[in-house]
Structure 1
């Protein structure tokens, strides 16, 4: 069975985590490294969504009459939730065939004089960031370069996260740099000319042990640990609801990254070049092997492209049935954002499923591609 891996962790990451329980040195080390790499001011936070809220509130001090924030219609719910939590009105913008914000659709909405545009790069595929940056400047609209999924990745000769007015990076699961889940760290990037004064409370490293368990049990392993974690998380949610804590502390405003998460992030940055190169080579192999399929589509797949996930669509078969057939062939799948794993209706955000991608061994990749070709043949003949 080909399964999902949301992070490529080794003993070094675990050792760094536990060592940082007794030291804060990883935080200034990560701060210095990112400042040198991105040539921006760096604010190390508990999450990327906290960075989005800070950026939006700053924008409101510059243009208080504006309240509208634009974001792509295909996106993690944490982004529109961050907009609402910051006190602004969000509006979704249509996406293109690569699941990124469509510049043409955005152009029409910029006439409404929004406060800001949040532009992510879906699953590692860079959006039309240069064009959208020019459009936003013309309309005096703040641009947040949401590089949550693409830490250390470049487009148009620049690091993603350095376009526009602000950049954000996430260290949560299934990203480029993964230090864990549930508030495992995020970064706000901004030019030195901006005066951003946000007092941050420290986050105890020991408080990160519970999220580490969740990350290990739910995302890195199957079996009994996964089942135990499921019920523990449900119990935790019920307790939070009963106590009136609707927002988990790990995502609350005003908290810095914890030292263990910073230490893991540093370790992940060390291996980033080799991981990116491996996934680019993997994309080349997959693009060649899957070219010419008649019933299966891979919206973002291109030779040599860095991708954090692999998305598939069949206009002929509903995602639920496709997922069942993939499972019969030994391939696990996942549903995608929102309602996008419902039956294909002709829109860009329908009929989608996620396939295993990160952490595949060469033999697993070969099996995956062979089974996808077999599946396509079945769909053609059915």
Structure 2
């Protein structure tokens, strides 16, 4: 029986060798790769006001602090109802209230819901390009400008993508790009790097103050080992990593917090990000090839759709299915028993389909799969529909 991994990073031997070299030479934390990455992004993507942090989440946090000082009476942030829990956590840690707007079938913000949610207390709207699919930038930008609300361009999952000649992340008053797992550019597990982009000259001075004296991370080795075992090797190593984490948590009597404290990006993460940016075109081409083949087979499914499947979306790292009849839990069990590794979606997304776009979702392999493996995945899903529906 084949074992088809759900890859969350497009890593090869170059990333491994570069990481080992930086650890051996003692340059995993400090070095000159942040400067090299900054220079490359300025030349290749015209990103000239970039601040490199240990997560995109940190960029959202600092953006909200600066925005709050400009609109003292506002305390609400509008986000998509389908989103990573860490985003909700960071908004609340900034002392602000989360307001969830509806999403459409493609899991992107529903414009009418956003418009209805804006009020006097609204500080900002978080525009997310979910799973790499571009949001309705023009309409949201116009709406926020009209209603005097800040816009954060969350391009966490779309590093290097353009819209009308501009890089995603540069359309809001501020923007963020992530290098965490399951992103187009992946340097490691959580807190492995991100970019804060400021596009509002009135916010820039305060953001510079907030980010100018950040500390450097203490060590990247534990997170690197965890990433390699859990996300790259998987299999028995994933189970071993799980038990090591459980034992470590029990001994320390507290849960590991990957996000705190906020620091500058490490030299290791900047180095891997630079390497991955340089091979981004090649990686996108491989994703498109897989999407083309999936698209040919998706018509065979009777009660399962792929809301993010379009050939323009070259920034997916895993394919999202929406199962209208079979629960995500049952479908995942069926596929896993046949060697296909899956992953549950954010929060309510993993619940059985209830008519809402953010339900009945399950992530299946996309990056690093062969044509034969895609055929096997598709035929197994067809069998699941016959047996479980």
TM-score (norm 1): 0.92
Report the 3-state secondary structure (helix = DSSP H, G, I; strand = E; otherwise coil) of the residue aligned with 1:59.
helix
Matched with 2:356 is 347
- The verdict on how the C-alpha distance between 1:182 and 1:142 changes in structure 2, with shifts beyond 3 A counting, is same
**1:378 Cα offset (Å):** 4.9
Are residue 333 (structure 1) and residue 342 (structure 2) matched? yes
- Which segment is superposed worse, 13-22 or 258-267? 13-22
- Which segment is superposed worse, 269-278 or 28-37? 28-37
Out of 2, 6, 9, which is 1:7 matched to? 9
Q: Distance in 2 between matches of 1:131 and 1:96?
A: 15
Matched with 1:232 is 244
Asked if structure 1 preserves the Cα contact closer than 8 Å seen for 2:301 and 2:381, the reply is no
Aligned-residue Cα RMSD (Å) equals 2.1
Q: Distance in 1 between matches of 2:145 and 2:320?
A: 32
- The verdict on how the C-alpha distance between 1:289 and 1:95 changes in structure 2, with shifts beyond 3 A counting, is same
**1:241 Cα offset (Å):** 4.8
Q: Distance in 2 between matches of 1:257 and 1:178?
A: 13
Out of 159, 162, 172, which is 2:167 matched to? 159
Matched with 1:31 is 38
Cα deviation, 1:4-42, whole Å, max 9, x if unaligned, reads 111111121122223334441101111222233133401
- The verdict on how the C-alpha distance between 1:94 and 1:239 changes in structure 2, with shifts beyond 3 A counting, is farther
Q: Distance in 2 between matches of 1:239 and 1:331?
A: 34
Report matched runs for 1:1-382 at 5 Å: 1-21=3-23, 22-23=26-27, 24-36=31-43, 37-191=45-199, 193=201, 194-195=204-205, 196-197=207-208, 198-204=211-217, 207-238=219-250, 241-242=253-254, 248=257, 250-253=259-262, 255-291=263-299, 293-306=301-314, 307-378=316-387
**1:275 Cα offset (Å):** 0.7
Q: Distance in 2 between matches of 1:100 and 1:202?
A: 35
Asked if structure 1 preserves the Cα contact closer than 8 Å seen for 2:6 and 2:318, the reply is no
Cα deviation, 1:242-270, whole Å, max 9, x if unaligned, reads 5xxx78375323x1000011001111111
Cα deviation, 1:209-236, whole Å, max 9, x if unaligned, reads 1100000011111344222211222234
User: Which runs of at least 4 in structure 1 moved beyond 6 Å after TM superposition?
Assistant: none
Q: Distance in 2 between matches of 1:141 and 1:292?
A: 44
- The verdict on how the C-alpha distance between 1:229 and 1:199 changes in structure 2, with shifts beyond 3 A counting, is same
- Which segment is superposed worse, 23-32 or 255-264? 23-32
**Structure 2 spans left out of the alignment, 5+ residues:** none
- Which segment is superposed worse, 134-143 or 332-341? 332-341
- Which segment is superposed worse, 193-202 or 232-241? 232-241
**Structure 1 spans left out of the alignment, 5+ residues:** none
Q: Distance in 2 between matches of 1:271 and 1:118?
A: 29
Asked if structure 2 preserves the Cα contact closer than 8 Å seen for 1:113 and 1:139, the reply is no
Cα deviation, 1:154-187, whole Å, max 9, x if unaligned, reads 2343221111111101111110000001311111
Report the 3-state secondary structure (helix = DSSP H, G, I; strand = E; otherwise coil) of the residue aligned with 2:279.
helix
TM-score (norm 2): 0.90
